[in-house]
A and B are shown apart, each in its own frame.
Chain A
Amino acid sequence: MNRIIAKAILVSLLLLVFSMSQLVNVKAVKASGEAAAVFCSTGGLWWFEQSGWPNEDDVSLDVALRVHGLFPLSVYELCNYYNDGMVTKDIILTLIEDAADFDYATFFIFANGVNRTLYDVIYYVVGGIYGYPLYYIPVTHYQFYDTYDTPIIDFEIGEITRHQYEGSTIHFVFLWTCVQANEIGSYHYSYWIYYPYYFYQGSGAAGMPLAWTLRDYTQMSSDGYASPDSGSYCFIGFEGFGMPLSENISDSGGKNYGDFVKKFYYYALVNGYKINKALDKASYDVFGVQSFFQTPLYTGYARYLPGLGWWSGKMRVYGNGNNTLPH
């Protein structure tokens, strides 16, 4: 009888392993090389009727096209470009998953984004079944939108990258999107508090830099520009609201924030400069200051929004700004 039960358990375990392997995406063969993806989402974008005024959709499209054109195809085996209707959540998440096939992957994404509150929950467990939730612990998560206003949430990205054996292969992310760099973030795990009665159900990756790079706030420099760490990851985004690419820099003779992005990628990919150096060079060309730390992007800015009061924002560089993009 014991042998029969043992056999049954063995067969069950084999079935379990088989069924799990269908669910967990394990990359058996890891390819090498570099990949880049440029997205220009128009979700939540507004534009003025033809009036000669610069419009965000036109400027962002131009910026994304130029940036994409700067990635050398001799270096980047895969160089994807998506704009407007092609920018869907599925494509973005698929490309994040596909990044695991490369040694190095980088993303530039223009989109609208927000932060939101989700909740970690402590459950009281009765007889192996979730009982009632005892506590809700608020956790700030972040999301940006595809062209169809579908949110791409940090924990969804984190669920993909955290299954990569050797750490995320996405080494540089430039997210020109509101609030996605409010914090580096941390992983909210699920675990038994007191087995088998209390279970903590975490809400996953909370924070975009963490979600993309799998580096939490203890592993990444909070100012990768002024004091870069020694890691291989860098994340650039906005704390608070982001500047529209089409907004003019008044004293510059017609340059806008989009020109800053184009110049940054030019220096990073054509001259092969480190991220921080490319930021400095772009700052001189566009803002007329010698270094990035003198730009409003680094020092911060505030705008009065009717009905909402003053909102502030600044660009954040997390991780190691001394990294270079393959060029």
Chain B
Amino acid sequence: MMNFSMKKLCVALVLAVILALLLIEVPSLYSADFSAPERALTFLKDVIGLDITKYNVTMTHYSVVCDPDYYGGLPQEHVDYIIKSDESVIDVSYTFINKTLAVCNLYAYKSSLLYAQPPTNVLDAAKSIIDRYQDYTWNSYIQVMRDMLDTVTELKPMTKSVGNVKLKISENGPYTCIEWVYTSNGLDFNRKSISLAFQDGTFRSFSDSWSLYKIGSDSVNVSEEEAINIARNATKDMPKLYGRVGNETIVLQPKVADSPVEAKLITGIREPLTLYPLWHVQLYFDKLYGNYYGVAVDIWADTGEICGIYGTGIMGYIPQSENQQQTQAPAQTPSEESPPTQTPPQEENPTPSPPEQTPPPKETQTNNQTNLNLTPFIIASAIPITATIIIATTLYKRKRKH
């Protein structure tokens, strides 16, 4: 009897231990159980692969903000570290959104990074980072990305798609960027992506917004032609355009030209952190009106609803007379030319006066544009010269009297 009870007790104990073990939540490094500053350091060590032991680590900034205009008001944690060694100074900056790592930028101010295991090249470094990131996040979608990277033999601009993932490799000056974008129904949802960038072969930045954004719809129910028609109808009654030239207010009635017209299918945020297909239609005016060259209409491609209408223009100063007459030759930048004439375009020497007898300009017409003023220098020269003459004359006369 006693034996039986003991056995039962032992079995119960074993079961209890097993149950307890099952219930214990092993906190992942990615989970919310760790604070953002801790996870930031872990990311640097376990994902980027820096040998933290060789650095002196100081947290320089930590703040949390909830801005309803950004990320649906979710908490954004900003964490910054300066990590120093004898050879290098590195500034690392993180943003965590809703306790999840969103972006990391690294600035190496001195020398290169000290890795635990230095990568042989950028492609290897990228592969290692993604490998380690998978262990860091335990997110299954990383594996597809890692597999895609295995098919790349050389880092050069390219795109490649597998299922809902599009791999994009791009180069821009010293930057090489490897990006995995969510793609569906021919649409690239650029904001839902994982991105890794190197500058001159050194790790520069990382972002993961894959789980931050969700897809609201990938249905394109509005064709390009329909989108253009919607845009044209929406801008049928073009509002007047006002401009001030001097004290005068000028009123213009912009007219949308039949061509050219551009329509681009992109994706945009309709509700916080939710992406939808969007037609961006650019209509052009028949000519420039003030600083405006046209009007853009953004239309949700799934519903046909207008998302936004706004004038499109440039900063710069385009004189209205030239603008209206359309006589100005095509130029690459806003400019105001003043061709050489027979008279010097500038009347004053804005630099130090030449030695001794400063020759004044022969012609002294004022140029409103340059607005240079010679008067002070003429006065400056005239006063001592006049004084010298007066004093010398007086003294000479006195001498003669004596």
Interface on A for B, CB 8 Å cutoff? 1, 4-5, 7-9, 11-13, 15-16, 19-20, 23, 42-54, 56, 112-119, 121, 123, 125, 128-133, 136, 138, 143, 145, 148-149, 151, 153, 155-156, 158-159, 176-179, 182, 188-192, 195-196, 199, 201-204, 223, 226-227, 238-244, 246-248, 250-254, 271-274, 276-277, 280-281, 284-285, 288-291, 293-294, 298-299, 303-309, 311-313, 322
Contact call B384/A179, Cβ cutoff below 8 A: no
Q: Which residue of A lies closest to B369 (CB)?
A: A151
B242 CB within 8 Å of chain A: yes
Partner of A303, one of B80, B314, B385: B314
Partner of A195, one of B175, B344, B346, B355: B355
Report the minimal beta-carbon distance from B117 to chain A, rounded to whole angstroms.
Answer: 24
Query: For residue B355, which residues in chain A have a CB less than 8 angstroms away from its CB?
Result: 192, 195
Q: A240-B332, A248-B298, A294-B177 are in contact. Are A202 and B351 (CB under 8 A)?
A: yes
Q: Which 4 A-B pairs have the closest CB atoms?
A: A253-B269, A46-B290, A242-B315, A290-B207
Please, how many angstroms separate the alpha-carbon atoms of A1 and B402 in the complex? 12
Contact call B314/A285, Cβ cutoff below 8 A: no
Please, how many angstroms separate the alpha-carbon atoms of A179 and B333 in the complex? 7
Query: For residue A253, which residues in chain B have a CB less than 8 angstroms away from its CB?
Result: 268-270, 272
User: Which one of B45-53, B124-132, B243-251 is at the interface?
Assistant: B243-251
Query: For residue A254, which residues in chain B have a CB less than 8 angstroms away from its CB?
Result: 269, 308
Contact call A309/B330, Cβ cutoff below 8 A: yes
Report the minimal beta-carbon distance from A44 to chain B, rounded to whole angstroms.
Answer: 4
B350 CB within 8 Å of chain A: yes
Please, how many angstroms separate the alpha-carbon atoms of A119 and B340 in the complex? 7
Report the minimal beta-carbon distance from A206 to chain B, rounded to whole angstroms.
Answer: 11
Q: A199-B359, A250-B266 are in contact. Are A48 and B209 (CB under 8 A)?
A: no
Contact call B345/A123, Cβ cutoff below 8 A: no
Query: For residue B312, which residues in chain A have a CB less than 8 angstroms away from its CB?
Result: 244, 247, 303
Those of B224-268 within 8 Å (CB) of chain A: 239-246, 257, 260, 266-268
Those of B75-93 within 8 Å (CB) of chain A: 78, 80, 91, 93
Please, how many angstroms separate the alpha-carbon atoms of A294 and B195 in the complex? 11
A-B contact count (CB 8 A): 332
Contact call B314/A201, Cβ cutoff below 8 A: no
Contact call B362/A291, Cβ cutoff below 8 A: no
Query: For residue A241, which residues in chain B have a CB less than 8 angstroms away from its CB?
Result: 314-316, 333-334
Q: A7-B395, A203-B350, A250-B268 are in contact. Are A130 and B361 (CB under 8 A)?
A: yes
B95 CB within 8 Å of chain A: yes
Contact call B91/A277, Cβ cutoff below 8 A: yes
Q: Which of A250, A252, A274 has the most CB of B within 10 A?
A: A250
Partner of B241, one of A9, A46, A280: A46
Contact call A251/B268, Cβ cutoff below 8 A: yes
Please, how many angstroms separate the alpha-carbon atoms of A114 and B380 in the complex? 34
Contact call B240/A247, Cβ cutoff below 8 A: no
Please, how many angstroms separate the alpha-carbon atoms of A4 and B172 in the complex? 74
Partner of A114, one of B63, B266, B336, B339: B336
Q: Which residue of B lies closest to A129 (CB)?
A: B359
Partner of A240, one of B93, B333, B359, B385: B333
Partner of A56, one of B177, B313, B388, B395: B313
B401 CB within 8 Å of chain A: no
Please, how many angstroms separate the alpha-carbon atoms of A5 and B399 in the complex? 12
Query: For residue A176, which residues in chain B have a CB less than 8 angstroms away from its CB?
Result: 315
Q: Which residue of A lies closest to B284 (CB)?
A: A306
Which interface class (under 10, 10 to 19, 20 to 34, 35 or more) fits B? Answer: 35 or more
Contact call A132/B334, Cβ cutoff below 8 A: no
Known: A114-B334, A273-B93, A307-B330. 15 other contacts (CB 8 A): A4-B392, A8-B392, A16-B383, A23-B379, A46-B291, A114-B335, A123-B361, A179-B316, A190-B351, A201-B349, A240-B332, A251-B191, A291-B205, A294-B195, A306-B285
Q: A12-B388, A247-B310, A290-B207 are in contact. Are A44 and B396 (CB under 8 A)?
A: no
User: Which one of B22-30, B32-40, B103-111 is at the interface?
Assistant: B103-111
B113 CB within 8 Å of chain A: no
Please, how many angstroms separate the alpha-carbon atoms of A11 and B332 in the complex? 57
Q: Which residue of A lies closest to B275 (CB)?
A: A251
Please, how many angstroms separate the alpha-carbon atoms of A247 and B351 in the complex? 41
B371 CB within 8 Å of chain A: yes
Report the minimal beta-carbon distance from A196 to chain B, rounded to whole angstroms.
Answer: 8
Query: For residue A155, which residues in chain B have a CB less than 8 angstroms away from its CB?
Result: 350
Please, how many angstroms separate the alpha-carbon atoms of A149 and B336 in the complex? 13
Q: A123-B359, A133-B344 are in contact. Are A53 and B309 (CB under 8 A)?
A: yes
Report the minimal beta-carbon distance from A303 to chain B, rounded to whole angstroms.
Answer: 6
Interface CB pairs A-B, < 8 A, 9: A49-B240, A119-B340, A119-B346, A178-B333, A191-B354, A273-B93, A280-B105, A308-B328, A322-B107
B204 CB within 8 Å of chain A: yes
Query: For residue A42, which residues in chain B have a CB less than 8 angstroms away from its CB?
Result: 244
Report the minimal beta-carbon distance from B300 to chain A, rounded to whole angstroms.
Answer: 12
Query: For residue B371, which residues in chain A have a CB less than 8 angstroms away from its CB?
Result: 153, 156
B66 CB within 8 Å of chain A: no
Contact call A306/B288, Cβ cutoff below 8 A: yes
Query: For residue B103, which residues in chain A have a CB less than 8 angstroms away from its CB?
Result: 284, 290
Q: Which residue of B lies closest to A127 (CB)?
A: B359
Please, how many angstroms separate the alpha-carbon atoms of A125 and B318 in the complex? 39
Please, how many angstroms separate the alpha-carbon atoms of A223 and B354 in the complex? 36
Please, how many angstroms separate the alpha-carbon atoms of A11 and B385 in the complex? 11
Please, how many angstroms separate the alpha-carbon atoms of A291 and B103 in the complex? 9
Q: A114-B336, A281-B95 are in contact. Are A15 and B384 (CB under 8 A)?
A: yes
B157 CB within 8 Å of chain A: no
Q: A117-B338, A176-B315 are in contact. Are A251 and B266 (CB under 8 A)?
A: yes
